A and B are shown apart, each in its own frame.
Chain A
Amino acid sequence: MKHLKTGLVSAIAALAVTAGAVQAETVEFMNWVSAEETGKEKMTAMADSFKEATGNEVDLQGYAWGDMNKNYVLRARSKTLPNVGQSQGRLLPIIAGIPEMQDFNEIFGKDKLAEMFPASFLAAGEIDGKQLGLPWIGGTIGWVANQEVLDAAGITEMPETVEEFKAALIQVRDNVPNSVPLGLATKNHNSIVLDYITWLWTFGGDVMVDGKPAVNSPEAVAALSFLTDAVSERLAAPEIDRPDARRLFAQGATAFYLDAPLARTFARKFSGRDMEIDPAVKPIKAPVLNAGDDPVSVSWGHLIVAFGDEAPAADSPAMQWVMHLLSNEQLVGYAVNQSVLPTTNAALESEEVKADTYLTEWAAATVAPRRNTIASMEKGAEVSAVIGEEFQAAILGQKTAEEAANDMQSRLEGVLAE
């Protein structure tokens, strides 16, 4: 019965494909950019220009960011995957098991890709030797500071160590009324995880050490205590998610928070001041525990993925669309508009990108980014939920940092034991 059904479905799908091939083709592009206010217009323009150039249509299938992987998996199981899709870099491993995922090495050839992209970006889309994702836009998750808030608090030097960082936070709290000095994510599990691992790394710990959870190590407890204290001393607040932090930052209530380089685009929008706020948005190096340590950052990026029963030809409409997205004409404008780095060598070399001091500063502030290994674990969602819950329990004062760390450890061991 199962086979009969699958057979039937693929027969119908095959028919649909053949029927479609007669006329101009439609490329299905599943993405979240076209579902968001900040990117909708830009995305539509890219689709329009593609139609002009090739005569092929792009069907923009917009989903909420948080719904992307859910939809990929649902669609894989129902054999209705789109031709091309967008994926968050760190979440790629979750969908990597979908058999219809295509290896771009097979489509374009390894050499061509190596020529097109810097190796570090390319690595973000590689899994087990296969190039399952092509880098689209990239960067890191790093610290942003609001210069205006720092000025108002009388802070003249950017903090470099954790100690200085905390002193700066206190200064902001005491001098800027109603401020939330640190825009720490405290509400949503997925956002919490990013802040949590950044701090964990800063304190010298890691979630997994030698393949085992290590979230109750002394380093991890120290990191969690630091954050718990920050909340109880009103340097950070509960019930803050990334969008809240962005708004607080744009309105001059938050001095520091963690974000992708898109931070500037959000600041422009939420402040209502557009580019006028640009000088205030400063990418900074992550505070370090001891002077001289390497500042940490998390690698971040959006990838393009392709689906199909077999590798599409490099000149197929779907791949033409991929190349269209990565062409300088499209990519440079898109990346600068979104305040992110483009991923191709050609675009990185372009005048427009080089002239954007924010982007160059960002790149300089976040050297040697590390991969967020939690999100990409098979049980990533469960692990994130455990971390998020115990983190919340600690900062809300339901448990001490140590208790929460121990509970987190034993729950993670349980989750990962299976």
Chain B
Amino acid sequence: MLDLSTTTAKVVFIGIALLIGFFLFFPVYWTLASSLKADAELYQITPTPWPKAPTLDHYRTALTEGQLPKLLGNSLLVSISSATFNATLATYAGYSFAKYRYFGRKPVMMFMLSAQMFPFGLLLITIYPMFVEWNLLDTRLGLILSYIVFALPVATYMIYSYFSQVPNELIEAARADGASDLRIFHTIVLPISIPPIVTVFLYSFMWSWNDLLYSLTLIVSDEKRTVAPGLLLTYLNETNADWGGAMAASLMAATPVVLGFMFLQRFFIQGVTAGAVK
């Protein structure tokens, strides 16, 4: 969309691109480089710009002692489940908000969205005893449910604003053919709404994937620990500061998700295009 035929435009464009690119990617490079350095090289006052004697030691340790595969498995399981759950609830609710008119619709929607500003830490104080009563403490199910706090309202809003743009005629035409509302939703509306649903799924996924606060508190046993608290407990805590290990484990933890996102990115952008922002 820009006209880059003049030298000035080109210079400005490339200059800004390099600057932002550096800001975005350099930390990633530095993580990679640090993770490949042995401790002796890592803890130098003047760091080497790239690993002089690259070693996979930190990766090996992370996979064996650091229990990374287990942490990763737990995180993926919990995040995918909670994202699915969130996306499902949000899809129905968003459709309801967009296409039906009933008493209290707007206030409820507004209230749900404003709830996103309730301090998460505050909610945790009361969620904890509640989960104990429901026998949900230290269960993956509990953690999955608790992630509703993070993403459901915004997810609902995103999908709502998409559905608002789906023309009523599409639905009313099907109604005229005698299809029930539920059937119309499932067979006509849903199939054309995959990208925004994927978007909402990914948005919810990221909240769960990132969470430290809830997981650290609601998960008690080692076998169910997720990535963020696992990394913190293993690598940087009261007794330990293992930067190389932390870097290696972080990269490995991020890899499967990066790959998954690259695959889904097309949907994501399409979904955002169709949905929240039109």
Contact = CB atoms under 8 A, between A and B. Distances in A.
A320 interface: no
B66 to A, nearest CB: 8
Interface residues of A, number: 35
Nearest to A60: B222
Given A78-B137, A79-B132, A80-B132, A61 B238 contact: no
Contacts of B222: 34-35, 60-62
A243 B238 contact: yes
A147 B40 CA distance: 20
Given A61-B220, A78-B137, A244 B241 contact: yes
B23 to A, nearest CB: 23
A78 B239 contact: no
Contacts of A34: 222
B132 A36 contact: no
A63 B220 CA distance: 7
Interface string A26-44: 0000000011111000000
Contacts of B217: 70, 74
A348 B137 CA distance: 41
B128 interface: yes
Contacts of A244: 241
Contacts of B133: 5, 8-9, 78
Interface in B127-158: 128-129, 132-133, 135, 137
Nearest to A70: B217
A243 B238 CA distance: 6
A65 B238 contact: yes
Nearest to B237: A64
Given A62-B222, A178-B45, A251-B43, A80 B137 contact: yes
Contact of B129 (A12, A59, A78): A78
Interface residues of B, number: 26
Contacts of B234: 37
Nearest to B129: A78
A269 to B, nearest CB: 9
B221 A272 contact: no
Contact of A272 (B39, B135, B137, B220): B39
A38 B238 contact: no
A59 B221 CA distance: 9
B237 A71 contact: no
Contacts of A12: 135
A65 B220 contact: no
B43 A243 contact: no
B39 A266 contact: no
A66 interface: yes
B128 A242 contact: no
Highest count of chain B CB atoms <10 Å: which of A35, A36, A37, A266: A37
Contacts of B135: 12
A412 B69 CA distance: 47
Interface in A100-132: none
B118 to A, nearest CB: 20
Contacts of B45: 178
A351 B238 CA distance: 32
Contacts of B233: 35, 64
A66 B239 contact: no
Nearest to A63: B220
A52 interface: no
Contacts of A77: 129
Given A34-B222, A61-B221, A247-B43, A78 B237 contact: no
B184 interface: no
Interface string B96-116: 000000000000000000000
A146 to B, nearest CB: 15
B129 A66 contact: no
A70 B45 CA distance: 37
A402 to B, nearest CB: 32
Contacts of A247: 43, 241
Nearest to B40: A272
Interface of A: 5, 8-9, 12, 34-38, 59-67, 70-71, 74, 77-80, 178, 241-244, 246-247, 251, 266, 272
13 contacts: A34-B222, A36-B239, A37-B234, A64-B238, A74-B217, A77-B129, A241-B241, A243-B237, A243-B241, A244-B241, A247-B241, A266-B239, A272-B39
Given A37-B242, A71-B220, A78-B128, 19 more contacts: A5-B133, A37-B240, A59-B221, A61-B221, A61-B222, A63-B220, A64-B237, A64-B238, A65-B238, A65-B239, A78-B137, A79-B132, A243-B236, A243-B237, A243-B241, A244-B241, A246-B239, A247-B43, A251-B43
The 10 A-B residue pairs with the shortest CB-CB distance in the complex, in nearest-first order: A78-B132, A243-B241, A65-B238, A178-B45, A64-B233, A78-B129, A62-B222, A64-B237, A66-B238, A36-B239
